[in-house]
Amino acid sequence: MVESAAIASEQPIPEWVDRLSWFHARIRQALDAGVGEVLQYAVDAVATVLDADQASLHVFEPSVRDVRRSVVGGPQPGLFRERPYEGHINGPSGMAFAHDSAVIVDPHVLTEHDRTMIGSMLIAPIPLRAGTTATIAVVNGSGSRTFAKSDITTMSIVAHELGMLIDSHERLAAEKSQRRLAESLREVTSSMVSSLDFTAVLGALLNGLEPMMQFTAASVLLREGEMMRVMAAHGIEDATEIQKSYFKVASHPILKEVVETQGHVVVHGLTADQAPVYAGIGNIEHFIAMPLVSRNRVIGVLTVSRSRGEPFDLEELIVLDAFSVQGAVAIQNARLFQSTQESLAKTETLYQTAQALIAFDSLTEMLQTVVDGAARSIPARQVSLQTVSLR
């Protein structure tokens, strides 16, 4: 047994072990950086470890058929050109996913242009959390060395390490984002509840959204019976005119769905005539209607839109949901306060009118006081009272 151990200890350490040790050391130097910087550092290190002209990492979102992130490195980063989601899935990345392991790419899956530029390509799937897929690829030009089967072991381990690295940094980024959201939400909530003025509450709700997410326009609609009225708008050219708008819930499919399901509605490729809330700002690429719910009843809708750019992601939906919950509470409190103030004002007016009636001897003065008090209490621009003689 001792002799066997001695013989084993004299065997040279495989080259791929040395290369991976170097790779780990390089990655550790960048762990405190942001995810983008870390991945760029890692991709450059992969190119060095595998003696490649180019290394590229791609993270995919299959649910929306999109390339979420691309990082390219190495001494010749232009060998394997960028392409849309379908180009990756129908090409080398699809081959890696089909094998579920590192694989030397068959030239037949490359485009004609790629075959003129690439001499050898090795690609591996990166294991990530559910819902996201990724690949790491290394490429050598037509005049460089050809990847060997021994490189597959190195590539497989590198892909596994990258998976842990990406997941770790994304979890950290998500935690930081949640902390920022909590802090911002606390500030906005404080701003909303610090004032019981109805207009101020709506303004605080829309203004608080602006630093949290990119949008073209936003609005708050509040329910009045079977109608929805635009009470506040942000990013709309003629906001004053929009705020006069009323929409019948039953006649508006988006509002109807929000009210009936008490859930949000996300629409892509919405035209202005389909979303009259945004009439006048042109076509809308991405649109969200989020319910404002109080006491298990939809009291309004918070809407946000983008005229161009990326669709709203899950994090932005979470932000909107949090804002809608706090906004509904603040709006309902402001409404109750406003209603209480109006009731007190009417009671005060009635009391003053009654006191005045006692003091008058003239019927004409008494009736004028009644009319003036009624106008203030209703309120109304004009109130008339007619007396009829029955004789």
Q: Is residue 190 part of a domain?
A: no
With CA atoms as reference, report the closest residue to 59 among 88, 22, 91: 88
- Are 156 and 201 within one domain? no
pLDDT confidence of 1, banded at 50, 70, 90? very low
Identity of the highest mean pLDDT range in 139-143, 267-271, 343-347, 363-367: 139-143
- Are 160 and 21 within one domain? yes
Domain boundary among 320, 335, 350: 335
- Are 245 and 202 within one domain? yes
- Are 160 and 212 within one domain? no
Task: Provide CB contacts within 8 A for 94, sequence distance 6+.
Answer: 88, 109
Average pLDDT, integer, range 125-149: 89
- Are 23 and 134 within one domain? yes
Q: Is residue 227 part of a domain?
A: yes
- Are 41 and 115 within one domain? yes
Q: Is residue 345 part of a domain?
A: no
What are the tens digits of pLDDT across the range 211-255?
Answer: 888 888 888 999 988 999 888 888 876 666 666 678 889 988 889
- Are 171 and 199 within one domain? no
Average pLDDT, integer, range 269-293: 74
Q: Is the dihedral of CA 25, 30, 35, 39 positive or negative?
A: negative
Q: Is residue 364 part of a domain?
A: no
- Are 50 and 155 within one domain? yes
- Are 211 and 159 within one domain? no
| Angle of CA points 38, 122, 173, to nearest 5° | 20
Q: How far apart are CA 78 and CA 73, in angstroms?
A: 9
Q: How far apart are CA 57 and CA 73, in angstroms?
A: 9
Structural domains in the chain (count): 2
> Which pLDDT score, from 0 to 100, does residue 50 have?
92
Q: Is residue 211 part of a domain?
A: yes
- Are 310 and 218 within one domain? yes
Q: Which residue has the higher pLDDT, 126 or 387?
A: 126
Domain boundary among 335, 361, 377: 335
Cα separations in angstroms, 9 against 1, 3, 4, 5, 310: 12, 10, 9, 6, 56
Tell the residue number behind the tokens 């021994």, with chain if given: 150
Q: For 50-54, 61-65, 85-89, 160-164, which range has the lowest pLDDT when averaged over its residues?
A: 61-65
Per the prediction, the chain carries an average pLDDT of 81
- Are 164 and 207 within one domain? no
Q: Which residue has the higher pLDDT, 150 or 173?
A: 150
Cβ burial of 65 (10 Å; 0-12, 13-18, 19+) is exposed
What are the tens digits of pLDDT across the range 305-351?
Answer: 888 878 888 878 888 898 888 888 888 887 777 777 777 777 777 77
What are the tens digits of pLDDT across the range 181-201?
Answer: 777 777 766 766 666 777 888
Q: Is residue 358 part of a domain?
A: no
Q: Is residue 145 part of a domain?
A: yes
> Which pLDDT score, from 0 to 100, does residue 71 have?
94
N-term to C-term CA, the chain: 133
Q: How far apart are CA 140 and CA 143, in angstroms?
A: 8
pLDDT at 41 over 80: yes
Q: Is residue 121 part of a domain?
A: yes
The CATH number of whichever domain residue 232 belongs to comes to 3.30.450.40
With CA atoms as reference, report the closest residue to 331 among 201, 238, 169: 201
Q: For 52-61, 85-94, 209-218, 340-349, which range has the lowest pLDDT when averaged over its residues?
A: 340-349
> Which pLDDT score, from 0 to 100, does residue 361 have?
64
- Are 170 and 233 within one domain? no
Domain boundary among 125, 143, 175: 175
Q: For 79-83, 165-169, 174-178, which range has the lowest pLDDT when averaged over its residues?
A: 174-178
Q: Domain span at residue 267?
A: 195-335
> Which pLDDT score, from 0 to 100, does residue 272 have?
60
What are the tens digits of pLDDT across the range 243-261?
Answer: 667 888 998 888 999 999 9
